[in-house]
């Protein structure tokens, strides 16, 4: 695997600040944009475990609808986003393939919530992801990643297709865009705050 940049604690903790660290999972099915999302929003150089896909993966991973994908996450992605003087989000991106699901349990420990990225053209691929997040007892928000050329879907149709509770937030984002991605995370954080009160 390629190695990321060498970082020390000062890269992750602001000196002299009293902050609350919040662990957030960024989850979703294979090739939905989790690595792109964390890369677009992280205020530090993100840790990424992207590796070139091999022919062996073709027999295991469903590549339907993901033409041109040449790399995949094999462990996790990690980034940081400070949203106020008091709160810093530590973002953990999970691999999307079914064969990596066992890692999710460890990554879910200590997480306050999850942002579930969804491809509007592959909604059925999100069912297993949402089931896992609910199994781990995490509150979550849905972020519909708008891919180039994908049609805009009505929120109510998405809610029905994903069988969501009425209070589960649904937002649209572009995982490549920092502002759009930040808004999706802010929506999740507000939801978590509401659930805590």
Question: Rounded mean pLDDT of 43-68?
Answer: 61
Q: What is the largest CA-CA distance in the chain?
A: 51
Using 50, 70 and 90 to split pLDDT, how confident is the model at 18?
Answer: confident
**Alpha carbons 95 and 43: distance in angstroms, whole number:** 21
Q: Between the CA of residue 87 and those of 8, 11, 112, 189, what are the distances in Å?
A: 20, 16, 13, 10
Residue 141 pLDDT > 50, yes or no?
yes
Q: Which residue has the higher pLDDT, 154 or 8?
A: 154
In 3D space, the residue among 146, 142, 140, 141 whose CA is nearest the CA of residue 177 turns out to be 146
What is the crossing angle of helices 101-108 and 127-135, to 10°? 40
Residue 5 pLDDT > 50, yes or no?
no
Given a contact cutoff of 8 angstroms between Cβ atoms, the answer to whether 26 and 77 are in contact is yes
Given a contact cutoff of 8 angstroms between Cβ atoms, the answer to whether 29 and 96 are in contact is yes
Least trusted range by pLDDT, from 51-60, 71-80, 170-179: 51-60
Query: What's the confidence (pLDDT) of residue 12?
Result: 45
- Reported as a single tens digit per residue, the pLDDT across 154-196 is 999 999 999 999 999 999 999 999 999 999 999 999 999 998 8
Cα-based angle 167, 126, 103 (whole degrees, multiple of 5): 105
**Alpha carbons 41 and 109: distance in angstroms, whole number:** 23
Query: What's the confidence (pLDDT) of residue 10?
Result: 47
Query: What's the confidence (pLDDT) of residue 51?
Result: 53
């Amino acid at each position: 695997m390629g190695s990321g940049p060498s970082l020390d604690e000062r890269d992750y903790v602001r000196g002299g600040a009293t902050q609350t660290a919040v662990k957030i999972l960024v989850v979703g099915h294979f090739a939905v944009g989790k690595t792109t999302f964390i890369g677009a929003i992280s205020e530090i150089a993100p840790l990424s475990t992207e590796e070139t896909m091999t022919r062996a993966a073709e027999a295991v991973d469903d590549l339907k609808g993901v033409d041109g994908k040449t790399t995949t996450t094999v462990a996790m992605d990690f980034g940081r986003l400070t949203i106020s003087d008091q709160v810093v989000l530590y973002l953990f991106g999970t691999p999307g393939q079914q064969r990596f699901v066992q890692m999710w349990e460890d990554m879910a420990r200590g997480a306050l919530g999850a942002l579930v990225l969804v491809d509007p053209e592959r909604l059925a691929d999100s069912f297993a992801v949402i089931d896992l997040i609910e199994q781990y007892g995490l509150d979550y928000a849905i972020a519909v990643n708008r891919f180039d050329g994908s049609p805009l879907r009505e929120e109510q149709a998405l809610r029905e297709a994903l069988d969501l509770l009425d209070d589960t937030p649904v937002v649209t984002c572009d995982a490549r865009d920092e502002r759009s991605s930040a808004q999706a995370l802010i929506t999740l954080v507000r939801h978590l705050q509401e659930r805590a009160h």
